[in-house]
Structure 1
Amino acid sequence: MNADEKKVIEQIVINTVKKLISEKDSPNRVVLGISNKHIHLSQEDIETLFGKGYELTNMKDLKQPGQYAAKESVKVIGPKGSFDKVRILGPARPESQIEISLTDARTLGIKAPVCESGKLDGTPGITLEGPCGSVTLNQGVIVALRHIHMPTDVAEKLGIKDKDWVCVETSGVRKTIFCNVLARVSDKFDYEMHLDTDEANAAGLNNDDYLKIIPNR
C-alpha cells in the first residue's frame, strides 16, 4: 500500500467517525432504553410488603433524573402464573403500577392494556408478595405505551410538543418503523426512548442503540 492509498483510507475513516458523531449529536437521534417488567410502589404498599417505615434502597441510578433501580424486588402473582423477584423502581409514587410486556401478561393470565404510564383507570389488578406481607391491587397493571422522554430544548428544535405522536426508525437486519410513539416533553427529562422487551427483541435492538425520529405517518 503506497502513501496515497493510506491517505485515502485515513480520510475515509475520519469521515466515517465524523458522520457517526454527527448523527448521535443530531436532535432527531435518540438513545434507546429497553424496559423489562418492573414495579412502581406507593409508600403505603412499600410498608405493607417490607415493613413499617421501610424505605427503598437505591441500587443503581437510571437515566431519567431522580429515578433508580431499587435493591428490593417482590413476587408478582397472576391468575395463571407468577414472576419471582420483579425489580422495584424508586422513588415511591402516589399509586402503585406494574409495567409488563404482552408476553408477560399472557404468562400471568391477565389482559393488560397498552396505555400511558399513570393512566390506570380500568386496568387489571394483581397480587404482590414481599418479605413482610402481600398486597392485592385492584388496578395498576399496564403494558407501557412506547414513548420518548424529551427535554424541552430538543423538542423545540424538532418542532414537537408534549403529547405529540411521532414515528421512530431503527436500522439493521430487522429495520423497523415504530409509529404512535408518544413524546413526553419536560425540562426534567433526559433524552431517551423506551420500548418494552417484546418490541425491542422483535426489532433486534439493544440498550443504547440510536434510533431516528421521523415525521409521523
Structure 2
Amino acid sequence: MNEQVIQSIVEEVVSELTKHQSTKTVPMAVSARHCHLSKRDIQVLFGDYYQLTKKADLSQPGQFAANETITIVGPRGSIEKVRILGPVRNLTQVEVSRTDCIKLGVDAPLRESGDMKNSAPITLVGPKGSLYKKDGLIVAKAHIHMSPDDAERFSVKQGDYVKITTKTERPITLDRVLIRVAPRYKLEMHIDTDEANAGFISTGDVGMLLKNEGMT
C-alpha cells in the first residue's frame, strides 16, 4: 500500500471521527446570578415609565444584559449588583446558585426557568423602591438550549433529560440536564457558577452528550 493511499485512508478516518464528535458536542456557558423583571416591577424599582437599557447582547437571540442592577435581600444577608437580563418578562424571576442561597439565608428550589410557583421568597431593592416577592427565587436547572434541527440531530426532544460530561482539567459528568427546544434558540448549555467551579468550566468549553435519559 503506497503512501498516498495510506494518507487518504487516514484523512477519511479523521474526518469521520471529527464528524461523529461534532454531533455530540455542546458548547457551554456559565450563567452567573441574575434576574428577569416584569414591566410592573421595573416601574417599582426604577420609577414610572422606566425602560431597561442594553449593556451587551447575550448568545441567545433577542436576549441582552442590561446596564441596570438590583440588590437582593434575604433573612441572613444581601447581594448587590445583581444583573438584570432583558427583555421584560411576564413574571419576575431571580436565579442564584446554591452558594448564594446560603449567603442570603434562603432555601431556593431547583427549578426550570419560569416555574415560579412555591419558589423561595426574596426582597428586591432598586434605586427608586423595593418589593417583596413571595415566589421569586430559584436555582436554575442545568439546561441546553437548542433549535428543532439540533434536537433532531441529537435525537432528543423538549423536556428530555440528558447526561453531559466535560473534558476540562477536572472532568465531571452532569446528570439530568434539561433539554429546551425552540426555533429561536442557539445551541448552548447553561450551568451556574457552583457547577462551573466544581468542574473548572469556563464559558466556551464544551461538553459531550452521553445519552438520553428520557422524560421525568
Dislocated runs of 4+, deviation >3 Å:
21-25
1:96 maps to amino acid: T
User: Which 10-residue stretch deviates more, 98-107 or 23-32?
Assistant: 23-32
Pairwise CA distance, 1:115: 0.9
1:118 to 111, 114, 118: 114
Pairwise CA distance, 1:37: 0.5
Match of 2:3 in 1: none
- CA distance 1:158–1:103, shift in 2 (3 Å): same
Give the TM-score, by structure 1 length. 0.88
Q: Distance in 1 between matches of 2:117 and 2:20?
A: 38
Match of 1:84 in 2: 80
1:109 maps to amino acid: G
User: Which 10-residue stretch deviates more, 22-31 or 159-168?
Assistant: 22-31
- Verify the 8 A CA contact 1:78 1:126 in the aligned structure 2: yes
1:208 to 197, 204, 208: 204
Please tell me whether residue 141 in structure 1 is matched to residue 137 in structure 2.
Answer: yes
Match of 1:189 in 2: 185
- CA distance 1:159–1:24, shift in 2 (3 Å): closer
Q: Distance in 1 between matches of 2:120 and 2:21?
A: 41
- CA distance 1:93–1:25, shift in 2 (3 Å): farther
Pairwise CA distance, 1:158: 1.5
Q: Summarize the alignment of residues 16-55 of structure 1 with structure 2, pairs less than 5 Å apart.
A: 22=18, 26-55=22-51
Q: Distance in 2 between matches of 1:23 and 1:153?
A: 16
Partner SS for 1:45: helix
Q: Distance in 2 between matches of 1:54 and 1:206?
A: 34
Equivalenced residues, count: 201
Q: Distance in 2 between matches of 1:23 and 1:128?
A: 47
Pairwise CA distance, 1:25: 7.8
Match of 2:4 in 1: none
Please tell me whether residue 170 in structure 1 is matched to residue 166 in structure 2.
Answer: yes
Q: Distance in 1 between matches of 2:168 and 2:189?
A: 18
Match of 1:131 in 2: 127
Pairwise CA distance, 1:90: 0.5
Give the TM-score, by structure 2 length. 0.88
- CA distance 1:173–1:93, shift in 2 (3 Å): same
Pairwise CA distance, 1:110: 0.3
Q: Distance in 1 between matches of 2:108 and 2:23?
A: 33
- CA distance 1:71–1:156, shift in 2 (3 Å): same
Q: Where does structure 1 lack aligned partners over 5 or more consecutive residues? A: 1-10
Pairwise CA distance, 1:214: 1.0
Instruction: Report the identity percentage.
Output: 44
Q: Where does structure 2 lack aligned partners over 5 or more consecutive residues? A: 1-6
1:108-139 per-position Cα deviation (integer Å, ceiling 9, x unaligned): 00000111011111111111111111111111
Aligned-CA RMSD value: 1.8
